[in-house]
Every structure is written in C-alpha cells, then in structure tokens.
Amino acid sequence: MGIYEISLATLVGINIILALGLNMISGFCGQISLGHAAFYGIGAYTAAFMAKAGAPFPAAVLAGMVLAGLVGLAVGLTSLRVRHDFLAITTMGVGFLFLGVVRQQEILGGELGVSGIPSPGLEKTGYMVLVLILAAFFTAFSLWIKRSWMGFAFEAVADDEDTARVLTVDVAACKLTAFAMGTAMAGVAGGLYASFARFIMPDDFGFITSITVLSMVAVGGIGSVFGVIISTVILTLMPEFFRFISDYKLLLYGALLFGVMRFAPEGLAGFTRAVRKAGIRSAGKKEAAG
C-alpha cells in the first residue's frame, strides 16, 4: 500500500466511526440530527488543544470523546422538548452555533483553524491499523447495542414514542443514552481526525459535513449497521474514483442522494432485503410449480 491508499483507508475508518455514531441516534433511536458535524468538531478541537498542550494521544482522544458526549447529552435534553422536524432544525442550529463560536474566538484559532497538531507517535501504517481496529470495535459495539434489550427499546422509541411510553419504555433515558453514545463516537472520530490531518479548520465541521454523514446513514439504510458501513466506504471513496471528472463530483453526489431517496428510499440495506425476498419468492414459486 502506498501513502495515498493508507490515508484513504484511515479516512474511511474515521468516517465509519462518525457515521455509526449518527446511526445510533438517527437509525436506532429515530432522532434525526442535522448537526452531527458539531460533535465531530468538538472532539477534533478538544483533542487538538490537548495534544498541543502536551497530553499523550490516547488522553487527547479520550478527552474529545468525553466532551463531545457531554455536549451531546445536553443537546439530547432538547430532544425531550422538541420532536421530529423541530428537532432536525434545532440540531442544525447547534451545528451553526458551534461554527459561530469557533469562528469568532481567536483563542480557538478563529477562521484560520488550528495547525501544528503533534503527531500521534505512530507512523502512517500503524495509525491506519489503530483507526481500523477502533472502527471494528465500534461496529461490534453497534451490533451489540442493536441486539440488546436497549436496542429493542430504541427501536420502540423510533417507531412510535407514545406507544413506547405506554409500554413503560423510559423514552427520555433512551434518547439521552442514544445521543450521549452517538455524539461520543463522533468525538472519537474527531480526535482521530485531528491527529491524522494535523490541521483543522471550522469549515471541516460545517453543515455540509453534517449532511454528508447523514447521507452515509440514509444511503446505507437507516439503522442497518452493515449498510451504513458499506455506504460510508462508497461515499468516502467515490470522490476519488470521480477525480477524472472532479468538476462534476458534487453534482454527481447531489444526484446520487436524490436518486437513492427517490428510487430506493430504504437505502442499500432495503434494496438487498427486497432482492432477497424476491429471490425467496421465485424459489418458492419454482417449488410449487415443480
């Protein structure tokens, strides 16, 4: 593997952690968030400043995770007040609020961002392996949550909050847990990104990033762990495949988002499910005929 492939693989790993975090909130628990990039940013900025202050790499990433999770918990509190589309816009507002604060504070680097973030002390291949191991860990974690009792409760909240409440599911606790876990994962991704890029600026964590992460989740099939991973890999690598037509790559990206929602609204996961079902049906027909 060359340097180029190694950094691509690292980026894929970081995006998987980021997208699985949003999948926890929007996929499992049904709370649409349009501000996920803010928590990615909080993780990245925290880790960057910790590392610059001389903290060892694991401590810096951990601090980013904790702070992002705490802010996420606070934002989760808003989800107890507002629902559905109101929540989507509130979380979008949180994203802009984060950007506004970072941009105006000289102490946080302002428009120019933070540069000279120390290296994590691993060479490129080692760092890629570390990121991919963490991505695998969070994949396993997501699958475990999904199959646990809590995942079941999340699904009930996503389906119908009021019915879930009647069935004695603690809706508030579910939402807060989902927000705290999902945003903490975004914080980890941010910390890993800061040490990987060694230079961060406010625009890396803007609305477009939030939308990109949401599309990774939606294109994969909201709530499906493997669907989200596959679509994250595709959407992260796609701009690289299309480099020969780089002028049109965002146009294609927009068209892809629209196309998937228009023709396969359940994403890749829904599409494969439909194909499998069709296969079983035709096999059944053959048996009946034979």
Partner 1 sequence: MLFFELFVQGLIHGSMYAMIAVGLTLVYGLLRILHVAHAGLFALGGYLGLLITNATGSLALAMITSALIVGLGGMLVYRLCYQPILDRPPYVPLIASIGVFIAMEEVFRLVFGPYGLTYNHPHLQSQVTLLGLNLRGAEIGMVITAMVLLGGLSYLAQNTRIGIAWRATVDDPEIAESFGIDAVKVRYLNFFIGSGLAAVGGIFISLLSNLVEPTMGGVPAYKALAIIVLGGLGNVKGTLVASLALGVVEAFGTIYIGSYLDRDAIAFAFLIAVLMIRPQGLFTGR
237 binds partner 1 (CB under 8 A): no
The continuous run of DSSP H or E covering 200 comes out as: strand 199-200
Residues 11-70 that bind partner 1 (CB under 8 A): 26, 32
156 binds partner 1 (CB under 8 A): no
Residue of 56, 126, 265, 279 interacting with partner 1 (CB under 8 A): 265
- Minimum Å gap between C-beta 85 and partner 1 is 6
Quick one: 195 or 231, whose CB is closer to partner 1?
Answer: 231
**The two structure tokens encoding residue 273:** 């499910």
Instruction: Select from 39-47, 57-65, 74-82, 280-288 the region that touches partner 1 (CB under 8 A).
Output: 74-82
Residues 170-199 that bind partner 1 (CB under 8 A): none
7 binds partner 1 (CB under 8 A): no
Residue of 2, 116, 262, 290 interacting with partner 1 (CB under 8 A): 262
Residue of 1, 5, 56, 86 interacting with partner 1 (CB under 8 A): 86
Instruction: Select from 49-57, 63-71, 103-111, 238-246 the region that touches partner 1 (CB under 8 A).
Output: 103-111
**The two structure tokens encoding residue 217:** 């989740």
274 binds partner 1 (CB under 8 A): no
**What is the per-residue binding string for partner 1 in 204-223, x denoting contact by CB under 8 A?**
---x---x--xx--x---x-
Helix axes 225-241, 124-147, angle to 10 degrees: 150
DSSP state letter for 117: P
Look up tokens 């102490």; give the residue: 107
User: What ranges make up the beta strands (E) of 95-135?
Assistant: 114-115
What's the CA gap between 179 and 110, in Å, rounded?
28
103 binds partner 1 (CB under 8 A): yes
What's the CA gap between 154 and 160, in Å, rounded?
10
The continuous run of DSSP H or E covering 199 comes out as: strand 199-200
Sign for the pseudo-dihedral over CA of 252, 182, 68, 51:
negative
What's the CA gap between 233 and 237, in Å, rounded?
6
Look up tokens 């963490």; give the residue: 134
Residues near partner 1 (CB under 8 A): 26, 32, 78, 81-86, 88-90, 92-94, 96-97, 99-101, 103-105, 207, 211, 214-215, 218, 222, 247-248, 250-251, 253-259, 261-262, 265
